[in-house]
Amino acid sequence: MRSRERTLELIDAQSGGDVSRVVMSGVEPLPGATVLEKARYLQREGDGLRRLLLSEPYGDPAMSVDLIVEPSHPRAQAGYVIMEAMGYPLYSGSNTICTATALLQSGAIPLREGDGLQDVTLESPAGLARVSARVVDGRVVSITTEGEPAYVADEALSVEVPNHGDVLFDLVWSGAYYALIDASRYGFGLGVTEQIALTAFGDAFVRAARPGLRQEHPDLGDVGPLPFAHFMGPLREVGDGRWESPSATYVHPGVLCRSPTGTGTSARLALMARRGEIREGESLETVSPRGSRFVGTVLRRTQVGDYPALRSAITGAARVMARSQLTVDLDDPLVDASDLEPLLTPPARTHA
């Protein structure tokens, strides 16, 4: 009888405390001419993979999954589909940092000899992600990635949130839609002891805010309902053209990021630029409730459809935590094999 067990080759990495599980092999080639089409196929036909790797006993909803796929763009060295508790974000800073580090440290993309910067181009569902890896003694010590153009889609919105009253926010695209909220207005200092309260507030806010909010991107079409709320602390100037701010990102449903998040930082930069608070070449260091940090740097202004937009770069570091083989038994009652079995590569036949 043919084996019902399947094997996935995984590299787990963390950036700022957020864990990305990078699936290196074990999944059949996905239909689709681009990484975006592959992601939408997976969302439509193969969501069992996301559910498997982000649910007990195989995973945790606070993690992310990055599936390595064949890129379509001739300049890209690898493609990756991002999966989180909220679904399939088109771009993510921390996931890009982890994926680039895993590909380089594993040798899937060869590390160049000698110290210094190594440029890598990846293809996310949103398009090309241009990465610069700082390498010291054969180890990737930091990643700078140019994120998606971010733009302010709507300003000064408000929604009535049960037990919290009227909540004001701005809606910003930075690879996904973010609701940006002034944390101090609602009594939060964004410290480590507030994580449970922030998660509960984020959950109530997103549920209340989603109806009626835009879901369209000028180039990418329907990108789904609001997935993120980013809580902004006060700005503090720490040098010439350098700022620092406490930050926290809620991912619906029920996850408060351990890192300050790359796309959350990009969204904050776009809002600051809109308000005239930051200029080209200046930077913002965001600090999560757990104390991890990303640095966002303003690169240049651009345009997305009718929206003035901002290009920025996010710098952070990732650490490889584990290289493993995950065995999936399709007969396990805790495994939903209905749309999973066609995705996973069957074991090679052996001949007597």
Catalytic residues: 92
Q: Are 319 and 14 in contact (CB under 8 A)?
A: yes
Residue type, 212: G
Q: For residues 87 and 228, what is the distance between their CA atoms, to the nearest angstrom?
A: 11
Structure tokens at 169: 């926010």
Q: What is the dihedral of CA 245, 60, 26, 124, to 10 degrees?
A: -30
Q: For residues 49 and 32, what is the distance between their CA atoms, to the nearest angstrom?
A: 17
